[in-house]
Amino acid sequence: MLNVDYKPLMQSLAGACLAGLARAITGVIPIWLGTKPSRNQRIYFANHASHGDFILLASCLQPEERARTRAVAGADYWRSNRIRRFMAEDLLRTVLVERNGVERTQDPLDVMLKALDDGQSLIFFPEGTRNMSEEPLLRFRSGLYNLAIARPGVELVPCWIENMSRVLPKGMFLPVPLLCRVIFGAPIAVEPGEDRTLFLHRARQALLDLKPTNGAGR
């Protein structure tokens, strides 16, 4: 009997379909402002307000880079029922981390470091949850700093995702077609002697600086 592992094929097909869909609906184009597409291992960190965010960001990457890039998402949400679990684990290959410190069985940092050590790039939302406030960006949680300290060789690329929260707001499942852009900034790194608070503040500012100022939504 042939025992073909259909999973990688299904995953790359799902990835390509979602990227095509994201482009058809949002006409998304990447703006490489501070960096260029590269083969370097990266952590793309971005603002987060919609489930579409990581699909949009992934659709801006080149196919080989997209194939090795996985999004980090909350296990409490994505393991809460079978459909979500199937989508997150089997279809989209997300790295699921347990956000709740009391009940968790796995350290989120270990899970993410394992993915990095496998040579994968990550899409990471340092706010830790979807931003539902009027503020453009919430305070950063410390995960980004911990990753940066643990794997200093990985590039940290700030990515501003524009308009996706209007395309697919929280709680909606049908997207409104609106134009989106993803703006990639210059990679940042922890500087010698820089402490956690200072670095997280600087990383947050680097992301905010990419936010366009004109009237095209937020």
Residues of this chain that bind other proteins (CB under 8 A): 27, 29, 163, 166, 169, 172, 174, 176-179, 213-217
Strand ranges across the sheet with 181-184: 29-32, 181-184, 155-162, 42-46, 121-124, 69-74, 95-97
Q: How far is the CB of 202 from other proteins (least distance, A)?
A: 28
Q: Given the complex with other proteins, which of 69 and 131 has the nearer CB atom?
A: 131
**DSSP string computed for 191-214:** PTT--HHHHHHHHHHHHHTTS--S
Q: In this complex, which beta carbon is closest to other proteins, that of residue 47 or of residue 163?
A: 163
CB of 191 vs other proteins, minimal distance in Å: 35
At 20, give phi and psi (nearest 5°): -65, -40
Q: Which is nearer to other proteins, 89 or 169 (CB)?
A: 169
Between CA 145 and CA 207 the distance in angstroms is 15
CA distance 120 to 142: 21
Q: Of 10 and 29, which CB lies nearer to other proteins in the complex structure?
A: 29
Question: Min. distance of Cβ 27 from other proteins in angstroms?
Answer: 6
Identity of the residue, 175 or 187, whose beta carbon is nearer to other proteins in the bound complex: 175
Amino acid (1-letter code) at residue 144:
L
- Residue 59 C-beta: closest distance to other proteins, Å: 15
Closest distance between other proteins and the C-beta of residue 10, in Å? 29
Q: Which residues have CB under 8 Å from 178's CB, separation 6+?
A: 26, 163, 166, 167, 217
